[in-house]
């Protein structure tokens, strides 16, 4: 803003026409200057005294610029039009041009006297400026003498004109700021630039059209109730003659053009006595807004009564100016609607937040209650091994449910914030389906369901995509089918390639159908909403967070896929998913999984360095590692681990288990430091991350830091053994 000049916001041609319009209406000298008092327009109606006598002197011209600048600043500081005596002895008026709280210039008028010139005063002025005293005095005698009331009226009118210019400049300033912001963010959508350009062009057209400012201007004598037309180039109050009694003629205009709802109010408000009292009470101009008929529509207009002359403090003559404010009213209506919409959205967000907290409070407290309760029961029955075993089983089940809840909340959070990153990796589709079924299989057996799978029409088995999240989708839907189908039910899984995909791609359809409880149309309409589980008494006791289908739908959409639902109460539910994949040419390298039931090799004779800052987590990890037979050394942070490696011979450690978030030196920093050591063993030693950061981007970050593998907390002994078996 500090670098902007008045002419950066308003072009000189518009300012000149605006200024000329004021001088034509008032017969008063006027000029518009920038913030430094330098004129940017050609003066209009300037007196011979100012133009040819005072300003011909270099000192006089300098003092004039200083007066213009000080006059505008005085008006800005007081918030009122400034009436002051310039260095040349004349009375001037000034009104500031203010944009966003910044003074950018002034509109000046005046060059009048409040009384006949005094010879000594003007001879002294001539002497101070080094100009001819006789010429100075002769020119001063030709200056108009104006009453104080007239000065006040002219200053008020000038101030109102300056406010209009300030509003226009501020409008253009906002567009310039928006344009500047768009230039800094040029990667945003092209239509933003197009919209900005359109707004800028519209604003320029509006500025050019405002050369005449008002539609119509009339001079009204409130004492005689007579008016005269000053300006009527745009035929607005065309029913009014150029000169006539004001009140009856304006009533006729109201009956003909004014909206019925505004008519009586407007007629009462333009009574000359009411106009005079309103201006006196407000100590300013008087405004009215109404709707006028134009052909087949009504548009909003604003009447402004500006005092020109007063008698005993009461306005006797005023100017009536008309503006079309229809677009402004439409914009205000749009802004009010936008405010209502924003309020509604905020209320919905608050309701969703309250619902989320309520659901989370219930869903978290339920397994916590089991964990705490079973822990107390186990302590009270510590000698009863069977009772303790059952308590521990219940604690384990509730802990897994609590972990599932936390994972689903984290998934939802990352999806909603746009931070979920999809992986692009080759995988065997049939193998992925097999893994998902293995996870759900025990529950299918437990409920004695008849489960069938058909992949005969799956042509492209090797594809590229996000295998972990696809498996999560399958497990969510299969888990729902198992939970919401009564015992001895039927579940069918059909997977096939769809016809019509582009070359190099395939679209795979996954269809999961059951003959379970089914859903009503009402439940189907909101089943993908968070925490939605329906109100069927048969399913109220089924464990779940109500987030699974919400996550599933979002994941499918992130993969550019589609999910459809068909259901009928008492007959079952069918989910159909279609997701596009890039086809992988060739075979995928098989990964050998370690079955927990297989005989495990021992890692006796091997040595591990466990780096963990939390004592309880370290105790758990040590206990799980002992099951493998490996020797264990520990360190409380990355710096201690690095020091221990430096203090031992090469190949002292066979594997490092590294926490990520630690004081002094975190896991990523420690891994990079270990890899950078000038030793052969540290370049190849396996470094396995043990961390609660379990997302794809976290794994990628660990890999970039030089880590070999990644095990998510809470730790699983089988997973630890599987990773050790792969890297040792």
User: Tokens representing 378?
Assistant: 């186990």
Residue 301 contacts residue 325 (beta carbons within 8 Å) = yes
**Domain residue limits, the chain:** 6-178, 216-330, 421-583, 607-727
Nearest by Cα to 482 from 512, 509, 522, 454: 512
Say if CB 279 and CB 285 are below 8 A apart.
yes
Token couple for 203 = 């604003």
In order, the DSSP letters of 625-677 are HHTTT-EEEEESSHHHHHHHHHTS-TTS-SEEEE-SS-SSS-HHHHHHHHHTS
Q: Just give the CATH number of 421-583.
A: 3.30.565.10
Contact 328, 301 (CB under 8 A): no
Q: Specify the 3-state DSSP secondary structure of 451.
A: strand
> What's 493's DSSP letter?
E
- Which of 560, 526, 536, 532 minimizes the C-alpha distance to 546? 532
Same topology between domain 421-583 and domain 607-727: no
Q: Which CATH architecture has domain 6-178?
A: 2-Layer Sandwich (3.30)
C-alpha to C-alpha distance for 197 and 204, rounded to whole angstroms: 10
Report the distance separating Cα 97 and Cα 95, nearest Å. 7
* CA–CA distance, 544 with 630 (Å, rounded to integer): 39
- Give me the pLDDT at residue 527, please: 85
Instruction: Show the CA angle centred on residue 84, arms to residues 82 and 87, nearest 5°.
Output: 140
CA 284 – CA 307 distance, rounded (Å)? 8
Q: What is the pTM of this model?
A: 0.46
Contact between residue 687 and residue 641 where contact means Cβ atoms under 8 Å apart: no
- Supply angle C-alpha 678, 683, 685, rounded to 5: 130
Reduce the secondary structure of 301-361 to three states and give it as a string.
EEEEEEEEEEECCEEEEEEEEEEECHHHHHHHHHHHHHHHHHHHHHHHHHHHHHHHHHHHH
Hey, what's the torsion of the CAs at 49, 51, 52, 57, to 10 degrees? Answer: 100
Contact 64, 52 (CB under 8 A): no
DSSP assignment letter at 166: H
Are 23 and 45 in contact by the 8 Å Cβ rule? The answer is yes
pLDDT of residue 222: 92
pLDDT at res. 402: 80
CA distance 286 to 269: 10
Topology of domain 607-727 in CATH is Rossmann fold (3.40.50)
CB 95 within 8 A of CB 104: no
Q: H/E/C letters for each residue in 501-515?
A: CCCCEEEEEEEEEEC
The answer for residues whose C-beta is within 8 angstroms of residue 454's C-beta and 6 or more apart is 492, 493, 494, 495
Distances (CA, A) of 82 to 72, 78, 93, 548: 7, 8, 6, 70
Alpha carbons 462 and 587: distance in angstroms, whole number: 7
- 192 token code pair: 């933003």
* Secondary structure of residue 218 in the 3-state scheme: strand
CB proximity list for 424: less than 8 A, separation 6 or greater: 464, 465, 466
**Cα Rg of the chain, angstroms:** 42
Nearest to 497 by CA among 462, 532, 546: 462
Instruction: Give average pLDDT by consecutive 10-residue segment, the chain, 728 residues.
Output: 73 86 85 86 90 88 85 78 87 87 85 88 89 88 87 83 83 77 62 62 46 73 89 58 87 90 93 89 81 89 88 87 89 91 82 68 75 89 91 84 77 76 88 87 89 92 91 90 92 93 93 94 85 53 67 92 94 95 73 48 93 91 93 96 95 96 94 94 95 77 92 88 91
Buried b (16+ CB within 10 A) or exposed e, 71-84: bbbbbbeeeebbbe
pLDDT score for 593: 45
Residue 68 has a pLDDT of 78
3-state SS of 682-728?
HHHCCEEEEECCCCHHHHHHHHHCCCCEEEECCCCHHHHHHHHHHHC
Q: For residues 138 and 134, what is the distance between their CA atoms, to the nearest angstrom?
A: 6
Closest-CA residue to 91 (of 155, 27, 25, 174):
155
Pairwise CA distance, residues 164 & 154, whole Å: 16
Contact between 308 and 157 (Cβ < 8 Å): yes
Torsion of Cα atoms, 56 then 57 then 58 then 64, to 10°: -80
- Checking DSSP bridges between strand 655-658 and strand 607-611, what pairing results, if any? parallel
Instruction: Report the candidate in 110, 81, 85 with the shortest Cα–Cα distance to residue 95.
Output: 81
Check if CATH label 3.30.450.20 holds for domain 216-330. Answer: yes
């Amino acid at each position: 803003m500090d670098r902007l000049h008045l002419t950066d916001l308003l072009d000189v041609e518009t300012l000149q026409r605006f200024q000329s319009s004021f001088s034509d209406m008032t017969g008063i000298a006027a000029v518009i200057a920038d913030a430094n008092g330098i004129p940017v327009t050609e003066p209009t109606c300037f007196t011979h005294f100012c133009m040819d006598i005072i300003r011909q002197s270099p000192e006089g011209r300098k003092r004039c610029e200083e007066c213009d600048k000080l006059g505008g600043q005085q008006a800005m500081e007081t918030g009122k039009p400034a009436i002051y005596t310039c260095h040349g002895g004349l009375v001037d008026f000034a009104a500031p041009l203010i944009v966003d709280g910044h003074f950018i210039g002034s509109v000046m008028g005046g060059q009048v006297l409040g009384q006949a010139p005094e010879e000594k005063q003007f001879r002294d002025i001539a002497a101070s400026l080094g100009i001819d005293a006789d010429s100075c005095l002769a020119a001063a005698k030709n200056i108009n003498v104006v009453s104080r009331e007239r000065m006040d009226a002219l200053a008020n009118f000038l101030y109102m004109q300056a406010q209009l210019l300030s509003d226009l400049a501020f409008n253009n300033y906002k567009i310039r700021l928006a344009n500047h912001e768009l230039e800094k963010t040029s990667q945003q959508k092209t239509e933003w630039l197009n919209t900005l350009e359109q707004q800028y062009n519209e604003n320029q057209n509006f500025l050019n059209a405002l050369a005449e400012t008002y539609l119509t201007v009339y001079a009204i004598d409130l004492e005689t109730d007579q008016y005269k037309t000053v300006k009527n180039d745009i035929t607005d109050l065309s029913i009014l003659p150029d000169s006539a009694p004001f009140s009856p003629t304006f009533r006729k205009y109201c009956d003909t053009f004014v909206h019925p709802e505004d008519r009586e109010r407007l007629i009462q408000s333009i009574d000359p006595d009411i106009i005079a009292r309103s201006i006196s009470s407000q100590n300013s101009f008087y405004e009215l807004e109404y709707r006028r008929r134009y052909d087949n529509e009504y548009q909003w207009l604003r009447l402004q009564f500006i005092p020109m002359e007063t008698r005993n403090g009461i306005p006797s003559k005023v100017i009536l100016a008309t503006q079309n404010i229809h677009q402004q009213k439409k914009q205000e209506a749009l802004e009010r609607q936008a405010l209502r919409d924003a309020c509604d959205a905020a209320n919905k967000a608050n309701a969703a937040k309250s619902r989320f907290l309520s659901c989370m409070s219930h869903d978290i407290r339920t397994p916590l209650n089991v964990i705490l309760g079973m822990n107390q029961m186990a302590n009270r029955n510590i000698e009863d091994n069977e009772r303790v075993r059952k308590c521990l089983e219940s604690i384990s089940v509730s802990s897994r449910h609590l972990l599932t809840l936390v994972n689903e909340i984290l998934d939802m959070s990352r999806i909603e914030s746009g931070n979920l990153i999809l992986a692009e990796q080759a995988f065997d589709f049939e193998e992925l389906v097999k893994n998902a079924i293995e996870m759900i299989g025990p529950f299918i057996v437990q409920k004695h369901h008849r489960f069938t799978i058909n992949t005969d029409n799956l042509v492209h088995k090797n594809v590229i995509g996000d295998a972990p999240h696809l498996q999560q989708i399958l497990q969510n839907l299969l888990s729902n089918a198992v939970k919401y189908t009564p015992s001895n039910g039927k579940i069918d899984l059909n997977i096939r390639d769809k016809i019509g995909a582009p070359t190099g791609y395939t679209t795979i359809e996954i269809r999961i159908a059951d003959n379970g409880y089914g859903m009503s149309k009402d439940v189907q309409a909101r089943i993908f909403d968070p925490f939605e589980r329906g109100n069927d008494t048969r399913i109220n006791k089924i464990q779940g967070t109500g987030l699974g289908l919400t996550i599933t739908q979002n994941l499918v959409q992130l993969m550019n896929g589609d999910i459809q639902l068909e259901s009928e109460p008492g007959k079952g539910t069918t989910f159909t998913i279609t997701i596009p994949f890039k086809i992988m040419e060739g075979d995928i390298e098989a990964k050998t999984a370690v079955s927990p039931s297989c005989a495990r090799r021992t890692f006796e004779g091997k040595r591990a360095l466990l780096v963990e800052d939390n004592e309880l987590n370290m105790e758990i990890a040590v206990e799980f590692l002992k099951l493998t037979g490996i020797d264990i050394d520990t360190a409380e942070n990355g710096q201690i681990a690095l020091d221990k490696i430096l203090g031992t011979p090469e190949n002292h450690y066979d594997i490092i288990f590294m926490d990520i978030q630690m004081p002094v030196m975190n896991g990523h920093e420690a891994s990079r430091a270990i890899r950078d050591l000038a030793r052969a063993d540290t370049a190849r030693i396996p470094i396995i991350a043990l961390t609660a950061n379990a997302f794809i981007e976290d794994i990628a970050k660990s890999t970039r830091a030089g880590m070999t593998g990644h095990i998510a907390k809470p730790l699983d002994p089988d997973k630890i053994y599987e990773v050790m078996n792969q890297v040792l």
